[in-house]
Amino acid sequence: MTDSRKQKLIDLGPHALADALLNFAVHSDEADDLIEQLIATPKENVQRFKKKLSGLKHSKRFIDWQGASSFARELEMLLQDLKSGVVDDPLTGIELVAAFYEADNTIFEMCDDSSGNIGDIFRYDAKELFVDYASRCKDKEKIADIILKVNKKDNYGIRDTLIDCAGVCLPEDVIRTMITTLQQWADKEKDEYGKRRHLMLIESLARQIKDAKLFEKTRIASWGKLSTAALIDIARVYLESGDVETAHSWLKKIPEGETFQAYERDKLLEEIYHKQGDSEKLTKLLYQKYRSHHSTDTLQALLDVIGHDKRDDVINDEVEQILKTDRLRESDAKFLIAVGKIDEAEEYLLGRADQLDGKHYGSLLSLAEAMEPEDRHLVTSLMYRNLLFSILERGYTKAYPHGIRYLKKLDKLAASVADWKEFNHHEAFKEKIIQAHGRKRSFWSKYEVKK
């Protein structure tokens, strides 16, 4: 489809396309700006970039969160001017991208970036442009000086983006010189926050050159007593550096029974056991992960180690344990369905129907939609009842169309339920919600019309 449309536009010819673009530009500032960018010389585009950036610095306007996405596109076009203007002089490109980063105070103070759209321009678009220029620039020491100069201040925590990409555009010897400079800054810094910031930048560079010992030393110098998160970070860098045993020794320092960042710790342990070839510990860990969170992913990871021929036994043993528990876990019901245990899933949900909660919209709806094609109409009805009740109980008018759809679904399902067991028949349930929410006329009027 896309290629066909492109060819049709080409067939229209340059005059038709030029006229269409000019007509569009009358109603769109973005289109007008694009035209100016396309027809400008490289030198003119550089001047456009500088003029726009200077204009931002002197602007008195404020952009609220609703206008942030449009402002982000404006900044994208600003960087596109630079990209179109500086092609064969990467050092100039680096200097101008750095100037963009140094305008961060102005840019963030003039807008509400609750959405994160503006921050993403710095983290992705500007970073990508910087790396492109830096990778083509031969003066690596100059690049390092520019990165350090930009990072002398960082009020909005965005300039360290350039530190984090040093490893892809600078050789190790230049990065180590940067580390020496940052350490000197840290040693002279009297403010504790400022000192930690310099040390944090050293950590980033140490990780990029895979110097785990330096990373460890810097983290200890920064915080002294190490938290669980710090122990995991240090272990991760040792593992990335190829020192599996030292990585393991750091994870062993985490107190037994610690649950904070347990997922990150176990993920590292899994990789460590793989590299060590310790199938016994790996199997034990994967069993723990599987039992704490039943999913096809944790099952697959376990079977990859112990053998897929054990699949039925592993599933059946765990299904038995799931059915013994009193508390409803929607993830367990989802797992039972995923492994084809539909009868067990129905039994599990019906036995814990009093725990179904319509506020868990996403998970409960997906369960209902999975059970309906299996002709499990009673349990499906109970889930739709809870979804409907939640909407009416909260008086959430924006969700009334969904509620109407659920009620119509319940009307249809009722005809297929032969045995309601201990649950209210459909008409009794319907009468109950009418008594409780019959005054919500905006709901019932639409239901009657749509019915």
Residue range 313-352, pLDDT digits in tens:
999 999 999 999 999 999 999 999 999 999 999 999 999 9
**Band of pLDDT at residue 449, cut at 50, 70 and 90:** low
**Band of pLDDT at residue 426, cut at 50, 70 and 90:** very high
The model's pTM is 0.81
Q: Which whole number is the average pLDDT over 413-440?
A: 94
Q: Looking at this protein, which amino acid is placed at residue 113?
A: D
% of the chain surpassing 90 pLDDT: 85
Summary mean pLDDT of the chain = 93
**Band of pLDDT at residue 25, cut at 50, 70 and 90:** low
d(CA 207, CA 194): 20
245 lies in a domain? no
- Show which of 169, 203, 219 is a domain's final residue: 169
pLDDT in tens, 223-282: 989 999 999 999 999 999 999 999 999 999 999 889 999 999 999 999 999 999 999 999
d(CA 333, CA 323): 10
133 lies in a domain? yes
**Cα–Cα distances in angstroms (integers) from residue 230 to residues 179, 180, 220, 268, in the given order:** 20, 23, 9, 14
314 lies in a domain? no
% of the chain surpassing 70 pLDDT: 97
331 lies in a domain? no
pLDDT in tens, 286-306: 999 999 999 999 999 999 999
In this predicted structure, the answer to whether residue 1 has a pLDDT above a threshold of 60 is no
153 lies in a domain? yes
d(CA 448, CA 63): 44
pLDDT at 385 (0 to 100): 97
- Show which of 169, 201, 225 is a domain's final residue: 169
- How many domains does the structure of the chain reveal? 2
Q: Which residues contact 64 (CB under 8 A, 6 or more apart)?
A: 111, 112
Q: Which domain holds residue 414?
A: 356-451
- Show which of 169, 189, 214 is a domain's final residue: 169
384 lies in a domain? yes
pLDDT at 124 (0 to 100): 97
CB atoms inside a 10 Å sphere around CB 440? 18
Q: Which whole number is the average pLDDT over 59-78?
A: 93
pLDDT at 45 (0 to 100): 80
Three-class SS of residue 339? coil
241 DSSP 8-state letter: T
126 lies in a domain? yes
CB atoms inside a 10 Å sphere around CB 78? 22
**Band of pLDDT at residue 99, cut at 50, 70 and 90:** very high
pLDDT at 37 (0 to 100): 72
pLDDT at 142 (0 to 100): 98
253 lies in a domain? no
56 DSSP 8-state letter: H
Q: Which residues contact 91 (CB under 8 A, 6 or more apart)?
A: 133, 137, 139, 142
